[in-house]
Amino acid sequence: MKKKMLSALLCVAMVASLLVGCGSSAAAPAAEAPAAEAKEEAAPAEEAAPAEEAAPAAEASDEPVEIYMFISSPEYADAINTLIEEYKAVAPNVTINYETTQNDYPTLLKAKLNSGEVPDIFSSTSGMEIDTYLDYSYDLAGEPIATAMTDSVAAAMASTKQGGGVYGLAIKGNWFGCVYNKAVFDAAGVAYPTTFSELESACEAISATGVKPFTTGFGEWWVWKHLGQHFVSAAAETAGISTGELVEKMKNGEAKISDYPEMYNDFFNFVDLAVKYGDDKPLECTLSTEEAAVATGEAAMMIGQGAWVEGDCLAIDPDVQIGFAGYPVNDNAALTKVVSGSDQALRVNKDSEHLQAVLDFVNWWYTSDYAETWFNDVAGVVLPIKSDAVSTFEVIKQGSEHAAAEGTADLAISYDTDSFHQVFGETMQSYVAGTLSKDEACAEIEKQWQAIDGAAE
């Protein structure tokens, strides 16, 4: 019996200890010491640089340096490996250990931060999370990279706490909106709608041809934030305030969702319409299902996506005609806008052992002659740097056209953390599943907005 008691105790101890393994702040002071050395090393190099560029660079290149880069966005793994190869020719002494993961990146990063193993380059989302990781992040404002960056990307890297700064760089700018199959619209004889009533009749016309008007992706929590942000910035525009102010009011509990018809009526109307004309099992629909449905012409429009799906769709059908536009919010066509900006940020660890080497790398990434080639041809992304080049990708091309014609909506998702977005997505899933009514869902969203993001500030 005693033995059993003991084994039982051990069993439960194991359950409880599953989740407690990652807490250790003891390594933090240790990480600071080498950082101070690195700064001392870096200082003379900076001073010497303007005077005579070649000599100190040659001196520095003798010493082998390792940079640890641990970032999310595995979809750019090939491109980044090419970049690293290319950088070897520039700085042969620098080895970049590149590691990437999609699943649970934030968890893995936190485990590393708390064990003192802070990567030299790591990722977070832009906007509000810039402040979350501020303790570890280097301000790039004085670096050449900051001037090369487009204004919309730089704005997403600023810290609210510090009132400015450039606390990160982006692998890409981005476009968010409705990606659709032009051929399906042509077959139904309708144009892409700019108002909600046009959207309703378009849906009828498309489903009459036997094609699903929508594929929703509602099984993914992040699809909801991408869709929702269009309605949040539309609400702010109608109310005559900035999106930041509106989100701030929601976080402080000063406003309700029902104060803004674009969020309370139009958003839910859109969701209802998408469910009505969408997938048979909306909550099992994910990114890959969406891509397959639109690329093969089984569905007309996909929700909550943007520039990143085009490559996959072309891989499924190289001849697919991709269209890209904003979501019709209501019957005010002026609110139908695409969203542009950068939602991801790469951060430079300010206590890095080889800070100067890391800065050299990121500066080279953005400012070298190779930079534009890399962003355009290798990574195939929306340029995060200032440039006049025209993209070959439809989403980027049409996005830029929409931006020039109608302007863009604010990147509303950057004002909140993904912690809130995940709960928002789950709440909306409950709404679609019918376990929450519209008012219950709104109440829950308002509550969580304050509890998660309001409290985090």
Q: In angstroms, give the least distance from the CB of 199 to other proteins.
A: 24
- Among 427, 442, 445, 449, the residue binding other proteins under the rule CB under 8 A is 427
Given a contact cutoff of 8 angstroms between Cβ atoms, the answer to whether 216 and 274 are in contact is yes
Residue (259 or 426) nearer to other proteins, CB: 426
221 to 260: interface string for other proteins, x by CB under 8 A:
x---------------------------------------
Which span (56-64, 105-113, 191-199, 301-309) binds other proteins, by CB under 8 A?
105-113
**How far apart are the C-alpha atoms of 1 and 251, rounded to whole Å?**
55
- Among 82, 115, 321, 422, the residue binding other proteins under the rule CB under 8 A is 422
- Under the binding rule (CB under 8 A), the answer on residue 9 touching other proteins is yes
- Under the binding rule (CB under 8 A), the answer on residue 30 touching other proteins is no
Q: In angstroms, give the least distance from the CB of 141 to other proteins.
A: 22
Q: In angstroms, give the least distance from the CB of 303 to other proteins.
A: 16
Which span (52-60, 107-115, 179-187, 316-324) binds other proteins, by CB under 8 A?
107-115
End-to-end Cα spacing for the chain: 52
DSSP-derived secondary structure for 170-231 = -S-BEEEEEEEEHHHHHHHT-PPPSSHHHHHHHHHHHHHTT-EEEE--TTSHHHHHHHHHHH
- Under the binding rule (CB under 8 A), the answer on residue 360 touching other proteins is no
Give the amino acid at 425. Answer: G
Among positions 85-104, residues that touch other proteins (CB under 8 A) are: 104
Give the amino acid at 255. Answer: A
Residue (332 or 450) nearer to other proteins, CB: 450
Residue 40, phi then psi, degrees to nearest 5: -60, -40
The residue ranges of DSSP E strands in 274-380, in sequence order, are 299-306, 322-325, 339-341, 344-348
Q: In angstroms, give the least distance from the CB of 170 to other proteins.
A: 21
Q: In angstroms, give the least distance from the CB of 243 to other proteins.
A: 23
Nearest CA to 326 out of 175, 127, 219, 200 is that of 175
Which span (14-22, 144-152, 166-174, 308-316) binds other proteins, by CB under 8 A?
14-22
- Among 2, 3, 19, 318, the residue binding other proteins under the rule CB under 8 A is 19
- Under the binding rule (CB under 8 A), the answer on residue 436 touching other proteins is yes
**How far apart are the C-alpha atoms of 293 and 269, rounded to whole Å?**
23
Residue 304, phi then psi, degrees to nearest 5: 75, 20
**How far apart are the C-alpha atoms of 355 and 345, rounded to whole Å?**
18
**How far apart are the C-alpha atoms of 223 and 284, rounded to whole Å?**
13
- Among 202, 415, 418, 449, the residue binding other proteins under the rule CB under 8 A is 418
In the block, tokens 């999609």 appear at 102
Nearest CA to 181 out of 301, 273, 278, 277 is that of 301
Residue (22 or 191) nearer to other proteins, CB: 22
- Among 53, 135, 254, 440, the residue binding other proteins under the rule CB under 8 A is 135
Q: In angstroms, give the least distance from the CB of 286 to other proteins.
A: 9
- Under the binding rule (CB under 8 A), the answer on residue 54 touching other proteins is no
Q: Give the helix/strand (H/E) hosting 123.
A: strand 121-125
Among positions 398-417, residues that touch other proteins (CB under 8 A) are: 417
Residue 115: HSE in the Cβ half-sphere, 13 Å Cα cutoff: 11
- Among 127, 165, 213, 219, the residue binding other proteins under the rule CB under 8 A is 219
Q: In angstroms, give the least distance from the CB of 53 to other proteins.
A: 38
Among positions 257-296, residues that touch other proteins (CB under 8 A) are: 280-284
What three-state secondary structure class fits 430? Answer: helix
Applying CB under 8 A, what is the total number of residues that bind other proteins? 53
What three-state secondary structure class fits 438? Answer: helix
Nearest CA to 113 out of 124, 102, 103 is that of 124
Binding-site ranges for other proteins (CB under 8 A): 1, 4-5, 8-9, 11-25, 28, 104, 106-107, 110, 113-114, 132-133, 135, 219, 221, 280-284, 417-419, 422-423, 426-427, 429-433, 435-436, 452, 456
